[in-house]
């Protein structure tokens, strides 16, 4: 059985693989830039805002099931006191990082040149910076909410 | 004061108990350089608070007259810039009064060329002066702000305030603060309806604005847009002169940005071409202005409208998602009426007034910026800039020493 957050993102909100592929270049550009911001002095707030904006844009570009999904989160035990738009955005961000990370893994495995292999590896390292950055602030929503969603 | 005196031949001093200090100022000609009407703008720093009824003055300034070219050391602000577009997508800093321009861009926050550069607070606002910048444009954009780049939001990934959601194509309708109509009422004792004038015209007869003033000074960047001709029937009898006259008028929109402020100010004046009698005065006309905007958000996006019916001079519309709050706010000296939100469309109108002073604000609160209050910023701006602003009162109109 898929983790709750994955179910929300892929099955409730119905974000398709095709949609993510269509916008993969912009997604990567935003995540890559946010990772660079995390390393800059006083840049972490910009990085967090940039990630939240990219993730919320994914949601708001697919608004058909938005209100149903927000209602689901509103009534999910452990999340009642959380802002459902923030919870949903964190889910989207977590899934985006996961999705682009596995894309980077397969890029590295199939890269025809050493240079492209290194680039894919560098990008994986940047995604790790993002993960660690958000881990440090318990993904904005707090530890309990993370557990309710099934986030590691 | 002689009309020949300008910012090259005048110098401004602040009077302190300990002496005088030279202060920056600028002079603008909102009806065009040759119209003989000027606005002097100065910055009064560290001004002690005064009485709410303005009965005591708290700061004093003196203008010194020199000869042409004596002064003129008012440096331009590093944050202010105006770009003039004779054709779309090619802006020039130089403004030539006789030229036809299709658009004008006001910037007040410095312009980073890369996303990694330091960003100062501010906006870049592009106004379309023509109805169809491209031949196949589906919307009449005349006088609308068609793009508002918000520099802080840009650092957070969303520069375009009018369509901030990534992965959605920008809709052609997106625009802010477009004047669609004005109307002029007859005097209360006249038996005729108000006169409604479209500022957008009809298909095939779409008017455009002329850029009659553009100045990047030390304190603000100001432009003045002049509408095409409007014919207004004025009936003064039995109490005023002239008894009856068809006036040829133009609507002037004086738009300014100030360094690092996330708003622009606008003043609307309906000015007849004809002077009254031998004097320089013109008939002052009151009118109502109708605004329209389109901010692109998907349906279902939470919206909060901050408006107090007992202070109907301002409102703000907030779009909040995931601890990011984007505001679209408007305040005026006149009451704002008939605010309508239908999806992404917004419409409102101003009550009757002679010189409408307005502020268009675009506040933004990102993650972890505490203290978000949907009313505070717009209410504060309204109070400081429109309701109880600093007032300057001429002590001596003109003294030749």
**pLDDT given for residue A38 in this prediction:** 85
Structural domain boundaries in chain B: 10-65, 81-385
Sign of CA dihedral B62, B63, B65, B70: positive
Task: From chain A, pick out residues whose CB is under 8 angstroms from the CB of B302.
Answer: 85
What is the C-alpha to C-alpha distance for residues B207 and A135, in angstroms, rounded to an integer? 57
DSSP secondary structure, A10-41, as one string: IIIS---HHHHHHTHHHHHHHHHHHHHHHTST
Looking at every residue in chain A, the average pLDDT score rounds to: 91
Nearest CA of chain B to the CA of A27: how many Å?
9
How distant, in Å, are the alpha carbons of A3, A13, A36, B213, B270 from that of A41?
35, 36, 10, 42, 51
Please give the residue of chain A at the shortest CA–CA distance from B154.
Answer: A50
Task: Determine whether A132 is exposed, middle or buried from the number of CB atoms within 10 Å of its CB (0-12, 13-18, 19+).
Answer: exposed
Q: Tell me which residue in A33, A45, A61 faces B168 most closely, judged by beta carbons.
A: A61
Count of domains forming chain A: 1
pLDDT tens, position by position, A2-48:
789 999 999 999 999 999 999 999 999 999 999 988 888 777 888 99
Chain A residues with CB inside 8 Å of B116's CB?
A: 36, 40
Q: Do B157 and A54 touch (CB under 8 A)?
A: yes
End-to-end CA distance of chain B: 13
Contact list in B for residue A83 (CB cut-off 8 A) is 322-323
- For residue A58, the chain B residues in CB contact (below 8 A) are 166-167
> Quick one: which H or E segment has residue B265?
strand B263-272
> What pLDDT is stored for residue B278 in this prediction?
61
What CATH number matches the domain at B81-385, 1.10.3210, 2.70.98, 2.30.30, 1.10.10?
2.70.98
What are the mean pLDDT values of chain B's consecutive 10-residue runs (401 residues total)?
A: 82 92 92 86 87 85 81 73 92 92 92 58 94 91 95 79 91 96 90 92 92 94 96 88 89 96 96 77 91 92 92 96 94 96 95 96 87 90 91 68 48
Is residue B204 classed exposed, middle or buried when 0-12, 13-18 and 19+ CB atoms within 10 A define those classes? exposed
Range of the domain at A107: 4-149
Find the chain B residues whose C-beta atoms sit closer than 8 A to any C-beta of A.
115-116, 155-158, 164-168, 297-302, 320-324, 366-368
> Least CB-CB distance to B324: which of A23, A53, A90?
A53
Angstrom distances, CA of residue B328 to CA of A20, B217, B312, B393: 30, 27, 16, 33
C-alpha span between B60 and B395 (Å, rounded): 9
Interface A:B, Cβ pairs < 8 A: 86
What's the CA angle centered on B258, arms B354 and B291, to 5 degrees?
A: 40
User: Do the Cβ atoms of A56 and B322 come within 8 Å?
Assistant: yes
Hey, are the CB atoms on A50 and B157 less than 8 Å from each other? Answer: yes
Token pair, residue B20, equals: 């005088």
């Amino acid at each position: 059985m898929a983790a709750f957050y994955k179910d929300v993102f892929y099955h409730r909100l119905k974000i398709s693989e095709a949609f993510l592929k269509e916008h993969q270049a912009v997604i990567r550009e935003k995540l890559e830039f946010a990772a660079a911001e995390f390393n800059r002095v006083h840049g972490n707030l910009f990085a967090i805002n940039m990630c939240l904006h990219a993730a919320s844009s994914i949601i708001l570009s697919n608004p058909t099931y938005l209100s149903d999904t927000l209602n689901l989160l509103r009534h999910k035990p452990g999340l009642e006191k959380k802002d459902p738009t923030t919870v949903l955005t964190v889910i989207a961000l977590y899934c985006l990082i996961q999705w682009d990370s596995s894309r980077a893994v397969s890029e590295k495995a199939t890269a025809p040149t050493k240079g492209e292999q290194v680039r894919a590896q560098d990008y994986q390292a940047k995604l790790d910076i993002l993960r660690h950055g958000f881990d440090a602030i318990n993904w904005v929503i707090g530890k309990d909410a993370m557990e309710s969603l099934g986030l590691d | 004061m002689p009309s020949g005196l300008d910012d090259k031949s005048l110098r401004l001093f602040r009077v302190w108990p300990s002496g005088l200090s030279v202060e920056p100022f600028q002079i603008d000609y909102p009806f065009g350089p040759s119209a003989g009407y000027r606005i002097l703008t100065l910055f009064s720093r560290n001004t002690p608070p005064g009485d709410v009824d303005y009965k005591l003055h708290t700061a004093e300034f003196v203008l010194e007259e020199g000869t042409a070219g004596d002064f003129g050391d008012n440096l331009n602000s590093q944050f202010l810039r105006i770009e003039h577009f004779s054709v779309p997508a090619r802006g020039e800093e130089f403004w030539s009064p006789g030229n036809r321009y299709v658009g004008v861009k006001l910037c007040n926050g410095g312009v980073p060329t890369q996303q990694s550069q330091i960003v100062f607070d501010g906006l870049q606002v592009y106004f379309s002066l023509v109805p169809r910048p491209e031949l196949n444009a589906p919307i009449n954009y005349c006088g609308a702000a068609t793009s508002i780049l918000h520099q802080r939001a840009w650092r957070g990934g969303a520069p375009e305030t009018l369509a901030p959601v990534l992965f959605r194509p920008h809709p052609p309708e997106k625009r802010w603060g477009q004047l669609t109509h004005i109307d002029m009422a007859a005097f209360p004792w006249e038996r005729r309806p108000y006169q409604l004038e479209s500022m957008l015209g009809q298909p095939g007869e779409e008017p455009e604005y002329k850029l009659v003033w553009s100045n990047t000074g030390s304190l603000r960047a100001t432009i003045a847009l002049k509408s095409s001709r409007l014919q207004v029937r004025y009936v003064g009898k039995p109490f005023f002169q002239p008894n009856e006259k068809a006036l040829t008028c133009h609507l002037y929109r004086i738009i300014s940005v100030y360094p690092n402020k996330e708003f622009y100010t606008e003043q609307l004046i309906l000015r007849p071409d004809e002077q009254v009698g031998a004097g320089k005065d013109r008939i002052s006309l009151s009118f109502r202005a109708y605004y329209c905007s389109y901010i692109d958000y998907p349906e279902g996006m939470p919206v909060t409208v901050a408006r107090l019916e007992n202070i109907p001079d301002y409102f703000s519309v907030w779009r909040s998602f995931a601890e990011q709050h984007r505001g679209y706010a408007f305040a005026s000296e006149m009451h704002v009426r008939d605010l309508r939100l239908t999806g992404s469309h917004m419409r409102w109108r101003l009550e009757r007034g002679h010189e409408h002073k307005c502020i268009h604000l675009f506040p933004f609160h990102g993650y972890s910026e505490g203290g978000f209050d949907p009313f505070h910023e717009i209410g504060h701006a309204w109070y400081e800039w429109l309701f109880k602003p600093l007032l300057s009162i001429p002590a001596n109109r003109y003294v030749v020493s």
